[in-house]
Structure 1
Amino acid sequence: MFIQTGITVFSAIFQLFLISFAAGILVRRNIISKSQIQALSVVTVNIFLPCLIIAKTLIRFHPENFTNWWILPVSGILIVMIGLAFSGLAFQLKPEKKPLMILSSMQNAVYIVLPIGQILFADQFDLFALYCFLLVLGLTPVMWSIGKVMISGKKESRIHWKDFITPPFVAIFISVAAVFTHLSTFIPKSVIASIDLLGQATVPLAVFILGATIGSISFKDMPPLRDILIVTAVKFVLVPSTVFAILYYGKFYISMPLFCSLMMIQAAAPPATNLILIVKNYGGDTQSISSMMFIQYLICILMMPLWIAAWQYTVG
């Protein structure tokens, strides 16, 4: 089980590294400039990502067929809150450490999780994908509101409501509202298909921008070792162990085994690649955040298989 899980996780992450590595080379060779990457991130945040959110919500979200759907978005938010609580204590709530608190809390909920689920739960993948999507319904507003404010490094003592309004944040609420009011039934399928086509560009672009950003940083100027250890401890030890304990001792795995497996994969996932889009689009310490994300993705190659295999072994 451990070997199979390890190969699955590694192959999913390796796909991201291939794209990121190619993007990094293009930047270091000056084939693509930093200004072009900045423009690409703006287009991705303002157009492609909102299209992805709208399309997947309209296509996949059917609340009448899943009365307990709210458990998933709440669970996604709970993972973030656990990470923020631990990282806040570890960093003593220092304002300059807010970006690292978000890196410790917001996981890559789709790009890595879905490929793993497709292999580990092939016979239940449609349900697994639906669970994953519903969990993201909770994560997306948090990431593009609180996450955006914290990781962009705003130093004003007063945060204005406009800081929370972003295109992805607006897209999630408009699309969910369209589903609940049944306005989505009046939208032609051809229109939704066109929106979905644009949205499909989000995943490779987000990974490309991540790789290009990492490729432009100086590896001589890495984050302090103490910061690396804290983020790693929170992201890959404290958060997954807390989720593990809640699921196991609450005996949720008896009635909801697939949900529990998804939650463990989510809890052990590395930082969200969309965080780099936020930094590129809204500002922040690109050098520090990119180098920290690079380190965390290297560490997750080992830590994700360990946690997933430990869960499967414990409840299997």
Structure 2
Amino acid sequence: MTHADPNLYDYWPYAGRPKIRWPGDKKLAFWIAPNIEYYEFQPPPNPKRQPWPRGNPDIQGYTQRAWGNTVGHWRLMELLDKYDMRGSISLSIGLVDHHPEIIEACAARKWEFFSHGIYNTRFSYGMTPEQERAVLEDSIRTVERATGERIRGYLAPALTHTESTLDLIAEHDFWYTCDLFQDDQPQPIKTKTGQLVSMPYSLEVNDVITYSVMGYTPEQYTDILKRHFDQLLEEGEESGTVMCIPLHAYLVSQPHRLRIFEEALKHISEHADDVWITTGQEIAKYFRENYWEQSIADIQTRGVTTGGTGFAPSR
């Protein structure tokens, strides 16, 4: 990592890349990522960030997020069942102990789980590599014990990182990261070991950004999702694209929002002939097995690098 560029990936122009085709000759890989998070009422302080923006503790913020797990998630789960969509759960690992019934319900539906740290109020800032390793190993063990599933994806808690994060998750055989927002297709990431893919996970259509930051109405959010999807589907004619909708039940599942949001899912499902409706793990697996080598070869052939040691050796 340098002061000029973090050297996580090379500049790789969109046009002219090796053509991607998803299974069944689909044009767009679509996945939906409900964040099932746990926020502590009085988390330990971190000098780099306040856990509750209104002050610590924040009973309003705490209970709003608790509503997401008590009410909102169940509503969202029923809606995804209706459209035969499996969630890829961005999971606060501590929730396995706090709300095992949610884990059981998701596992029964064959949903994917990936790590979003232990709690969304425990930031990575200031962690040593040993502390981050402990978080990753705890995440792997805890989900495996609860579900039998080996997690393969990672989204840093509250989007907080260290300079070691990506190398450490690759070292622990994670297949994809959601923490980079540089592309609409998967891209190989430079790590010391492993084959780590940057998975498209858009902040632009994340309900936290649209509702909490931008203040959009439910109708505006649904319109954004439809237009986002339509553009990526059109570009998928040339080479397969990826669309993710990151969600938080305490926001999208509010009674005045959920039915309008459903219109976006209906719109996407009406294009099922062209869309692979899947999980983050399945997209990463397919890309690693079918496009990893030629993607790296294309990047290196173009010769537009940002320096550094490059990609880990292939296995």
TM over 0.5: no
Scaled by the length of structure 1, the TM-score of the pair is: 0.27
**Greater RCO structure (CA 8 Å; 6+ sep):** 1
Structure whose residues are more often helix by fraction: 1
